[in-house]
Amino acid sequence: MASMNESEKYLLNKHKEHHFTAGEIVRDIIIGVSDGLTVPFALAAGLSGANASSSIILTAGIAEVAAGAISMGLGGYLAAKSEADHYARELQREQDEIDTIPDTEAAEVAEILAEYGVEPHEYGPVVNALRKNPKAWLDFMMKFELGLDKPDPKRALQSALTIAIAYVLGGLVPLLPYVFIPVAQKALVASVVCTIFALLVFGYAKGYFTGDKPIWSALQTALIGAIASAAAFGLAKAVQGM
């Protein structure tokens, strides 16, 4: 391989790539906070529409936040656990195929390399090298044939805790006004302001970290939350009128 000249070395040293690599954690935070902001907000708005007192709304809201955090956290745990179980099953199946039909698996390696534009005279040594290293062969098949990365063994618990904590933090925002304002209708106005502001900030941050347009993401997130709460408020008013 030809050595790099001074100009190429300078460009490599100057160019520093910054990639966001905490995608799974951000996804869990987004799931937890978005539901935490909208569901208790909609519940509080609905109860306010039914003329419930601030104390009742606060009690019901805290109960919902607790139940929602447990439910959402459990859902995150089961989803991550299912992903890990799926990987383990595919890993064992691929290992069995390498052990029982190595020639077929070697042909699959050659086919995969050919799809990447590798010529037959080039991928022959790669196939032979993999056949001498069963672990590398297995890793290659999991990555390039099945498109599966080995999951973090701590992922399930981490996902559960992240979603649950994010849900609690998001759920407390629309409920805080009911702690300080005894009149539910006045507390509702403050809750709307606090929650809309929180949705805008959260939507902007979500767009920033996920690569979407932050301002559009902020407006979209706030609009969805406003529609959910308005629907709950209107439904409570309709039921009360009946």
Q: Average pLDDT of 189-218?
A: 84
- Mean pLDDT of the residues in the chain: 80
Domain assignment of residue 96, given as a range: 25-241
Task: Report the C-alpha gap between 181 and 110 in whole angstroms.
Answer: 70
Task: Report the C-alpha gap between 124 and 116 in whole angstroms.
Answer: 14
- Taking the CA atoms of the chain, what radius of gyration do you get in angstroms? 26
* 13 within domain boundaries: no
* 219 within domain boundaries: yes
Q: What is the pLDDT of residues 104-143, one digit of tens each?
A: 888 888 888 877 776 766 667 777 787 788 888 888 888 8
CB 42 within 8 A of CB 175: no
The tokens of 209 are what?
């970290």
- Position 101 scores a pLDDT of 87
* 5 within domain boundaries: no
* 196 within domain boundaries: yes
Q: What is the pLDDT of residues 155-176, one digit of tens each?
A: 889 999 999 999 999 999 989 9
Task: Report the C-alpha gap between 175 and 61 in whole angstroms.
Answer: 7
* 59 within domain boundaries: yes
Q: Is 20 left (phi over 0), alpha (psi -120 to 50) or beta?
A: beta
- Position 2 scores a pLDDT of 44
CB 229 within 8 A of CB 41: yes
Model confidence band, residue 11 (pLDDT cutoffs 50, 70, 90): very low
Domain total in the chain: 1
Q: Average pLDDT of 193-197?
A: 88
* 2 within domain boundaries: no
* 29 within domain boundaries: yes
CB 144 within 8 A of CB 57: no
Q: What is the pTM of this model?
A: 0.73
CB 197 within 8 A of CB 216: no
pLDDT at 102 over 60: yes
Q: What is the pLDDT of residues 71-90, one digit of tens each?
A: 999 999 998 899 889 989 99
Single out the residue of 207, 215, 235, 83 nearest to residue 152, CA to CA: 83
pLDDT at 38 over 70: yes
Q: How far is CA 220 from the centre of its chain?
A: 18
* 17 within domain boundaries: no
Give the three-class secondary structure for 184: helix
pLDDT at 19 over 50: no
CB 195 within 8 A of CB 229: yes
